[in-house]
Structure 1
Amino acid sequence: MAKNTTYKGYTKLAERIARNTHFTCEEVDALLHMYEVAGGGARWDGNKFRDAMHGLLGLTEETLMEGVYQVFDTDQDGSVGPEEFVVCMSVFLRGNLDELIEYCFSVYDHNGDGHVSKDEMAQLLKAAVVNVPPGEEQDEVLKDLVEVLLKRMDLNHDGKLNFEEYRTAVLAEPLLLEVLGPCLPEAQARERFLSTFLDTYGNKAQI
């Protein structure tokens, strides 16, 4: 995927990661440096991860951030290591639609059972339902919203959303990618990060 994985002077880790991501060796090296600086040389636990993603990309929604953290922690050891961070950032920042579909569904499928139930959908959408019309309860509004989404996306009518149903819906209408809540950085934050991280953490910044 990477355009250049042969720069001399980069670590073997950077070269190996670059071969399997959308980053160049130079970019991987900068991201590894960023990880080390932000973590003080230690692996990132959940609190450090949330603080870093908030500071770097403006992600704040607590319920979804727990799911994002679990996806980044690919070996499920309770922390996010440097390689996990860079590989997931590749999808996070430059992933194609298929990669983003898999990523977002993994965030929404918080318990990893292969589907998102009605209750899970309601929990994910709760942060989006802020202004409830007079005389209505939030739970009722959430229930109605979940039913609308299932009517459109639940192709086998089993009352829950599986990966293939979600993928089919998003391929037909990409705007549905984050239908259950924002688990990707906003475009402006993403572009700002991509345009500045090399200058901040790259080789020239380390001299």
Structure 2
Amino acid sequence: MGKRASKLSSSEIKDLISCTYFNKKELQHWYKDFLRECPNGALKQEEFEAIYQQFFPHGSPKKFASYVFNIFDTNKDGHISFKEFICALSITSRGTLDEKLDWAFSLYDVDSDGFITRTEMIEIIDAIYNMVGNLMDLPNDENTPEKRANKIFQQMDMNNDDMLSKDEFREGSKSDPWIVRALTIDTGPQMTS
């Protein structure tokens, strides 16, 4: 979509307005910024990881960025198009809490089987802890990815099957201030303006 065009066509704008929370002017601005950073119209994983590194210079965000990249790259072609970028940004920055929770569920459900296992939860939490480095002051019962994952599973795994369904994750997340706070902050990478 619009790989070399300097402006979005009216049909592209109409399509993006229908699937995002952005208006025409915002979409045009984001597209201009996207093309400035990605002149070929595609964001590669290495570039995506570099954006995260700019925002988390005291940590190691590469692992977390790779998980997020996989969620943004909805067609799994190895790069993020403008449409993929702006649709994900729309959810992470302006979506409803339920939309953000569905997006987060997809992030934690690493193998996309419809459930979050304890191992998947530990992987993502480990990536988050590495990303933020020593900037977070964690309580003793959350100071390792394993402890945090165990605490989450104790709160959310209502049927004790050691897997979280989307419903368990949604409902449990709404009562977890750490997750709600993380989801109400803009979690997507930003292009420089």
Calculate the TM-score normalised by the size of structure 2.
0.74
Describe the SS at the equivalent of 1:44: strand
Question: Do structure 1's residue 63 and structure 2's residue 66 form an aligned pair?
Answer: no
> How far apart are residue 142 of structure 1 and its match?
4.2
Q: Work out which of the two has the higher radius of gyration on C-alpha atoms and give 1 or 2.
A: 1
* Distance (whole Å) between structure 2 residues aligned to residue 175 and residue 38 of structure 1: 32
Seen in structure 2, the aligned counterparts of structure 1 residues 33 and 52 have a Cα distance that, compared at 3 Å, is farther
The answer to whether the Cα contact below 8 Å between 1:118 and 1:160 also exists between their aligned partners in 2 is yes
The Cα offsets for residues 108-141 of structure 1, whole Å up to 9 and x where unpaired, read as 111111122122222222353878xxxxxxxx95
Q: In the alignment, residue 16 of structure 2 is paired with which amino acid?
A: I
**Equivalent position of 1:113 in the other structure:** 113
More displaced 10-residue stretch of structure 1: 13-22 or 101-110: 13-22
Seen in structure 2, the aligned counterparts of structure 1 residues 177 and 185 have a Cα distance that, compared at 3 Å, is closer
Counterpart pick for 2:165 among 154, 159, 162: 162
Equivalent residue pairs, number = 171
Seen in structure 2, the aligned counterparts of structure 1 residues 10 and 119 have a Cα distance that, compared at 3 Å, is closer
Query: Where does structure 1 lack aligned partners over 5 or more consecutive residues?
Result: 1-8, 132-139, 201-207
* Distance (whole Å) between structure 2 residues aligned to residue 170 and residue 146 of structure 1: 13
Calculate the TM-score normalised by the size of structure 1.
0.69
Describe the SS at the equivalent of 1:157: coil
* Distance (whole Å) between structure 2 residues aligned to residue 74 and residue 46 of structure 1: 13
> How far apart are residue 177 of structure 1 and its match?
3.7
Query: Where does structure 2 lack aligned partners over 5 or more consecutive residues?
Result: 1-6, 135-142
- Structure 1 runs of 4+ aligned residues shifted over 4 Å read 184-187
> How far apart are residue 53 of structure 1 and its match?
4.6
Matches within 5 A, 1:125-204: 125-127=125-127, 128=129, 142-173=145-176, 175-177=178-180, 186=185, 200=193
More displaced 10-residue stretch of structure 1: 169-178 or 82-91: 169-178
**Pairwise CA RMSD of aligned residues?**
3.1
**Equivalent position of 2:23 in the other structure:** 24
Q: In the alignment, residue 66 of structure 1 is paired with which amino acid?
A: S
Matches within 5 A, 1:36-55: 36-55=35-54
* Distance (whole Å) between structure 1 residues aligned to residue 63 and residue 41 of structure 2: 25
Seen in structure 2, the aligned counterparts of structure 1 residues 170 and 185 have a Cα distance that, compared at 3 Å, is closer
